Amino acid sequence: MPHGFVCRESCFELVMPLSLQMPLPMTSAVELLGQLERGETTAVALTEASLTTIQSRDSQIGAFLSTNADAALAQAKAIDDRRRSGQPVGKLAGLPIAIKDNMCTMGLKTTCASRMLQNFVPPYDAHVIEQLKTADAVIVGKTNLDEFAMGSSTENSAFQVTRNPWSLEHTVGGSSGGSAAAVAANMTSVSLGSDTGGSIRQPAGFCGVVGLKPTYGRVSRYGLVAYASSLDQIGPFATDVASAALLLEVIAGHDGRDSTSVDRPVPAYSATVDQPLANLRVGIAKEHFVEGLDPEVEAATRKALDVYRSLGAEIVELSLPHSKYAIATYYLIAASEASSNLARYDGVHYGHRAAEFSNMIDMYSASRGEGFGAEVKRRIMLGNYSLSAGYYDAYYLKALKVRRLIRNDFDAAFAKCDVIASPIASTPAFKLGALVNDPLAMYLSDIYTISANLAGIPGISIPCGLSSAGLPIGLQLQAGPFEEDKLLRAARMFERAS
């Protein structure tokens, strides 16, 4: 077993309740890979430690929908054997990783936390999974999410709720809540999530870990079960910025099977992440500091700006005038695309089929009625409405036009600054049950994250403090398209200084 793991686990499980364990230092993926390379630990030891931690903690947290113990241990053993015999191993050789359960994993159930796909075992791997396997990462399990990634609290899962490792009464955020919790509770040091409107960054913020949404097109969506195809993007969770950089480097790159995947070389993010940026200009938008922003979150954000000032950065005040339309625009576009993408689940081509029906139409509606949860149905209805003749121009088409204006705002902003800093959410993690019956309030909680998806730009969430209740607060940085290198370096500067 890796040294750090054993000590932390045994000391603190004896004396502290689970929710107080989190402020402990966690071993980063970069550090674990170093230990593997130096022979201080093995892939089998790390995989066993990860599976043991899942076993002991996940009954309380609910981060995982399934684990992959036997295959993971066999793979870990094969990697150790290869390393011992001097054969080449991949960049992530022996590193346990958790995957959001909306990415296809060959031979491993991929449910999207939906009854519709409860028994779906993909016959192929998503592009990111292929990349991870080439890098010799060890997939230990699939994590919980809001059904089909629709939600902001992971309470919309058809199977279980995920609890925040910092406080079991609070949500983990969503929709990639299981992946965020897995890292925050030290079950794996890294994981993958998907971000359509904040689903990596917001749970990262709520769970006190790093979460990165890449530029649209940077990572292939092949094998990611589609929610809103023009917004979806896969990205990493990690304990630290350097590990997120390394993971992005592994999963990014062109893939002809996703027509929106961009053919641009992948920079060596992990090699440059420690280089501070000279003459850094950090933008702040006046629209981001308005009513509704929790005072503690505002204070933590302003303190983060002081850190940047102390590092010699210039703080540039700017405006993103169309951001007030972002929520309406996002929920029209996302629901429209979802209604189209989810049409395939008809009980014939894909997914659950009702046991009893009287004719074909009845079979479709019974299958969809039983297979989808309330939030998914709400999105399908909203989307079909905004795409229907007579409403298309007024809703969907108008939303597309506003989307362009939102992107234009960012283009103008990035002419004046390198990164834009903001809160990741207006409050720290909210309580379980607090918003789940109020869809509009839940949608409003995405205010800081959805613009990046509409504009296609990258964004990262990094921990920047704790609330008086002891809950993590996240800082968001956003950068221009394909400027992940700059984004990661700016984030690393803050991480190091704080």
CA 453/CA 446 separation, integer angstroms = 11
261 binds ligand GLN (CB under 6 A): no
**Choosing from 153, 157, 167, 175, which is the catalytic residue?**
175
Q: Choose, by CB under 6 A, the member of 58, 136, 446, 485 that binds ligand GLN.
A: 446
The neighbour count for residue 17, using CB atoms within 10 Å, is 10
CA 345/CA 379 separation, integer angstroms = 14
224 binds ligand GLN (CB under 6 A): no
**DSSP reduced 3-state for 347:** coil
151 binds ligand GLN (CB under 6 A): yes
Under DSSP, the state recorded for 297 is H
Residue 282: both structure tokens together: 């950090």
Residues 3/40, Cβ–Cβ less than 8 Å: yes
* Chain position whose Cβ is nearest to ligand GLN: 199
The dihedral region occupied by 445, where left means phi > 0, alpha psi between -120 and 50, and beta the remainder, is alpha
Nearest distance, CB of residue 348 and ligand GLN, angstroms:
26
Long-range contacts (CB closer than 8 Å, 24 or more residues apart) made by 82-88: 83/36, 83/43
Residues contacting ligand GLN: total by CB under 6 A: 13
**Choosing from 189, 199, 243, 367, which is the catalytic residue?**
199
Residue 328 exposed, middle or buried by CB count within 10 Å (0-12, 13-18, 19+): middle
Q: Choose, by CB under 6 A, the member of 149, 158, 293, 464 that binds ligand GLN.
A: 149
155 binds ligand GLN (CB under 6 A): no
409 binds ligand GLN (CB under 6 A): no
Nearest distance, CB of residue 379 and ligand GLN, angstroms:
8
Nearest distance, CB of residue 383 and ligand GLN, angstroms:
11
Q: Choose, by CB under 6 A, the member of 143, 152, 186, 233 that binds ligand GLN.
A: 152
Q: Among residues 280 and 435, whose Cβ is nearest to ligand GLN?
A: 435
Which residue, among 260, 231, 284, 224, has the nearest Cα to 100 in the 3D structure? 224
CA 298/CA 366 separation, integer angstroms = 47
175 binds ligand GLN (CB under 6 A): yes
- Tell me if residue 100 is catalytic: yes
Q: Choose, by CB under 6 A, the member of 58, 80, 155, 195 that binds ligand GLN.
A: 195
- Tell me if residue 445 is catalytic: no
150 binds ligand GLN (CB under 6 A): yes
Q: Among residues 2 and 174, whose Cβ is nearest to ligand GLN?
A: 174
Nearest distance, CB of residue 128 and ligand GLN, angstroms:
16
Nearest distance, CB of residue 207 and ligand GLN, angstroms:
15
Q: Choose, by CB under 6 A, the member of 41, 50, 171, 199 that binds ligand GLN.
A: 199
The C-alpha angle 159, 443, 207, rounded to 5 degrees, equals 60
- Which among 134-142, 189-197, 341-349, 472-480 is the span making contact with ligand GLN, rule CB under 6 A? 189-197
Q: Choose, by CB under 6 A, the member of 22, 61, 108, 334 that binds ligand GLN.
A: 334
**Which residues does 219 contact at the CB level (< 8 Å), separation at least 6?**
127, 128, 233, 234, 235, 248, 251, 252, 253, 261
| 238 beta partners | 190, 210
Nearest distance, CB of residue 298 and ligand GLN, angstroms:
22
Q: Among residues 175 and 467, whose Cβ is nearest to ligand GLN?
A: 175
Which residue, among 497, 426, 457, 442, has the nearest Cα to 205 in the 3D structure? 426
**Choosing from 28, 50, 100, 461, which is the catalytic residue?**
100
- φ, ψ of residue 44 to 5 degrees: the values are -65, -45
What's the residue count for the chain?
498
Nearest distance, CB of residue 334 and ligand GLN, angstroms:
5
- Tell me if residue 175 is catalytic: yes
The C-alpha angle 101, 252, 379, rounded to 5 degrees, equals 40
Q: Choose, by CB under 6 A, the member of 94, 122, 177, 197 that binds ligand GLN.
A: 197
Under DSSP, the state recorded for 400 is H
What's the one-letter identity of residue 274? D
Residues that bind ligand GLN (CB under 6 A): 149-152, 175, 195-199, 227, 334, 446
Q: Which residues are catalytic?
A: 100, 175, 199
